[in-house]
Structure 1
Amino acid sequence: MKGEDVLMAGGQGPSGVAMADDGSRVGVCLRELLEGHRLSPSQRRIARHLLERPHEAVFLSSVDIAEAVGTSQPSVTRFAFALGFNGFPEFRDHLRAALRDGEGGGPAVKATGLNPVQAMVDSELRNLERLRDTLGDPGPLAEVAAELAASRPLPVIGLRVSAPLARFFGYLAAKAHPDVRVIDTAGSTLEDRLSRARAAGATCVLAFGLPRYPRELRDGLAWARRAGLRVALVTDQPVNALAEHADVVLTAPVSSQFAFDSQAAPSVLCAALVHSMVYALPAHEQASIEEFENSATERRLFLPD
């Protein structure tokens, strides 16, 4: 065992308990700093290294961390910059302050009792709560859904990491919408397919654009608008490199605490958008869902529950 496992399991006597408490406070402080910040892959390795040994984090120098992680000292400095500090010493002082506050000098950082993976899942629960709160007014979602339902055909774009969400939406939407066209490749193919969709009568396009944002997607959205299509964009924040090329933006936060981004909230927003779009379709098209279920039962497509 290492890192927080040692802290939680070790601690025979007061010194071990104190060490575990110190590690918990620093670990919580680190997770709070990391939440809401986008980190590069090398910066995430630095974060993971510190989270695995929070009781040591307040004593490590930037050189120590660079050597342990296998990166450069400037990379450690850029990690501190990414979290909003002027340099690594200021970042380390912030962690040390968490220890001082826990000793009675101020409000203590509340330890969660969660291991690192649980803490990352907990950050996604908060993302889902934020998404829930933004949907308190269902009007914007319903308006986008109605536009998607009315577009015949309906092009859906998702490139690179966003491609699975586009395919997920397309697979479900096609159960009711008569002509969904998923575009998950870039280059001239994207522009050609958007042009053909527009010529066939499409009025809008749905795009999924989650970080890291592909340059090809930005160019594709600009092309879509020049072609006369309204652009509905599902992304992680209302202002980013893609949002200025969209007519309407729906947002769901992405967690960057895992080695790769977690898309739990965008996936839920995707499902909510399909749900709303289906019920914005004419009744005879909604009925196609039941027809599919009847057909699937007759053909025994799925195993019994």
Structure 2
Amino acid sequence: MEKIDFYQLIKNKFSTLSPGQKKIAEFLVDHRDEAVLKTAFQLGKKVGVSETTVIRFSYALGFSGFSDMQDMIQQEWITTKQHSTQHFQIQNEHTVGDMYAKVIEKESQILQQLLNQLNRKNIDQAIEELIQADRVYIGGFGASFAAAHWLYYSLSQLRENVFLSQHVLPEQLCELKEGSVVIVFSFPRYTKDSLKLAEWVKKQHAKLISITDRQLSPIGQISDITITTEEQMESGYFSFVSVICILEMIIAGMHSRDHVRISKRQEMIEMLYSNQEMYLE
């Protein structure tokens, strides 16, 4: 025989209940959380009937007494709460999981678009300019500074005279000349500082390389070499992954073309690290 729950039991018996008992039944259905811990006296007082009417109500439903009825109410309440909690956790896990998956999917789409649009000639030219430059100045503003700092640290491992700034500093820029290279990061919303830096570089006749979202961005239009992250894709946000991917291409290209000089520099750096005991390993 199929087990019947408390509220189905009330539904089946409701038409046979007295007016006072129906008031109790309605309260139990509508205020389960409140009723679950009440005594027969408290329940009667809350509904406006006598304690005796509450006890008779339990008999009318087929229970041996109020305590027997209350046990069933409490067990079903606990079970319902457990299921509700588990359902919330599962739903939350699915929501979070889907959110994470969407982020990864979006980044994957951006990287695929990057591969499709990749202008290898521009990257090759940028690599050659960075190898031959007498000095390299890297500028990043706002959120782009993180990518600029990453490049500064990586490039400093490979060559000398690498400088980084998140401010337009005349003291550094005045030393730029025809043999110098400046890399500027610029993504929406484009900052005035990035354009100001680019215009200054052009006046100094240094080589300007921009890493930006499209060829016709404000800084892309005036750069000698423009490397774009997502020319044909409306991502809606700054993708750090695509930028780092481009920078890793540049670093890998420099390693390949200038490995002898780079190896000597890295040996010297490692010696200094060891002498100063900078790292745990």
Interval containing the TM-score (normalised by the shorter chain): 0.5 to 0.7
Percent of aligned positions with the same letter in both sequences? 15
Cross-structure match for 1:265? 242
Cross-structure match for 2:106? 123
1:229 and 1:245 mapped to 2: Cα distance? 12
Identify which of 198, 218, 224 aligns with 2:195.
218
Question: Which residues in structure 2 correspond to 1:208-287 (within 5 Å)?
Answer: 208-253=185-230, 256=235, 261-281=238-258, 283-287=260-264
Q: Determine whether 1:152 maps to 2:134.
A: yes
Q: How many residues get paired?
A: 192
TM value normalised by structure 1 = 0.55
Question: Which residues in structure 2 correspond to 1:187-206 (within 5 Å)?
Answer: 189=169, 191-198=170-177, 202-206=179-183
Runs of 4+, deviation exceeding 6 Å: none
Unpaired segments ≥5 residues, structure 1: 11-51, 53-112
What code does the residue aligned with 1:118 have?
Answer: A
3-state SS of 1:205 partner: strand
Q: Determine whether 1:175 maps to 2:157.
A: yes
3-state SS of 2:279 partner: coil
Q: Which protein has greater RCO, CA pairs closer than 8 Å, 6+ apart?
A: 1
What code does the residue aligned with 1:148 have?
Answer: L
3-state SS of 1:145 partner: helix
Q: Report the CA distance between 1:230 and its aligned residue.
A: 1.8
Unpaired segments ≥5 residues, structure 2: 1-86
Cross-structure match for 1:133? 116
1:116 and 1:285 mapped to 2: Cα distance? 42
2:263 and 2:120 mapped to 1: Cα distance? 21
1:293 and 1:196 mapped to 2: Cα distance? 29
1:300 and 1:134 mapped to 2: Cα distance? 44
2:261 and 2:239 mapped to 1: Cα distance? 37
TM value normalised by structure 2 = 0.59
Structure 1 or 2, whichever has the larger Rg, is 2
User: Deviations 1:41-75 (Å, cap 9, x if unpaired)?
Assistant: xxxxxxxxxxx8xxxxxxxxxxxxxxxxxxxxxxx
Aligned residues: CA RMSD: 3.1
What code does the residue aligned with 1:176 have?
Answer: L
Cross-structure match for 1:84? none
